[in-house]
Amino acid sequence: MDMKQGALDREGRTGDAPALVPPVDIVEDENGITLKADLPGVPKEGLSIRVDGDTLTFEGAVALGESSELHGVYAEVRVAQYRRSFALGRDLDTGSIDASMKNGVLTLRVAKREQAKPRRIEVKAG
């Protein structure tokens, strides 16, 4: 992985079209990591999630279904695309990612590899 991709991709700023960086919550527990991202206006079909090496990228296209006659008078959301990338550590299983979308919130669940799960080590009496 070269530096350019590793550093710039993370915030979604590559040579690609401009995109909003969605806010996320990331929580780790014993079995894996749960990521939630706000992607309001993105239908399930407009979502794409890909893993390239150890980089996880999700992208969403906003589709509001507005009429073509609509002309904007005020806008706080000025880009109709979201994108964000994360580098997954080696302890995460890139082959086991669950994704679901509800009310504009994407939930990604990445499991840990078996050997990365915490184990309790028994101390035997001498």
Partner 1 sequence: MFPSLTRLPGDLFPDFEALQRQVEQLFGAPSWPSSIRASARGAFPALNMGVTAEAVEIYAFAPGLDPAKIDVELEKGLLVISGERASDLPQESDKATVYADERFSGPFRRAISLPDDADAARVQASYRDGVLKVIVPKRESAKPRRVEVREAGI
Instruction: Summarize as ranges the residues that interact with partner 1 (CB under 8 A).
Output: 3, 6-7, 10-11, 23-30, 33, 36-43, 63-67, 69-77, 87, 89, 102-105
Beta carbons within 8 Å of 90's beta carbon, 6+ residues apart:
54, 113
Q: Compare residues 51 and 105 and give the one whose CB is closer to partner 1.
A: 105
Q: How far is the CB of 75 from partner 1 (least distance, A)?
A: 5
DSSP-derived 3-state class of residue 69: coil
Q: What are phi and psi of 22, to 5 degrees?
A: -75, 145
Q: Compare residues 6 and 111 and give the one whose CB is closer to partner 1.
A: 6
Q: How far is the CB of 123 from partner 1 (least distance, A)?
A: 21
Q: Compare residues 120 and 124 and give the one whose CB is closer to partner 1.
A: 120
Q: Compare residues 16 and 28 and give the one whose CB is closer to partner 1.
A: 28
Q: How far is the CB of 3 from partner 1 (least distance, A)?
A: 5
- What is the Cα–Cα distance from 99 to 107, expressed in whole angstroms? 6
Beta carbons within 8 Å of 125's beta carbon, 6+ residues apart:
none
Radius of gyration of the chain (CA): 19
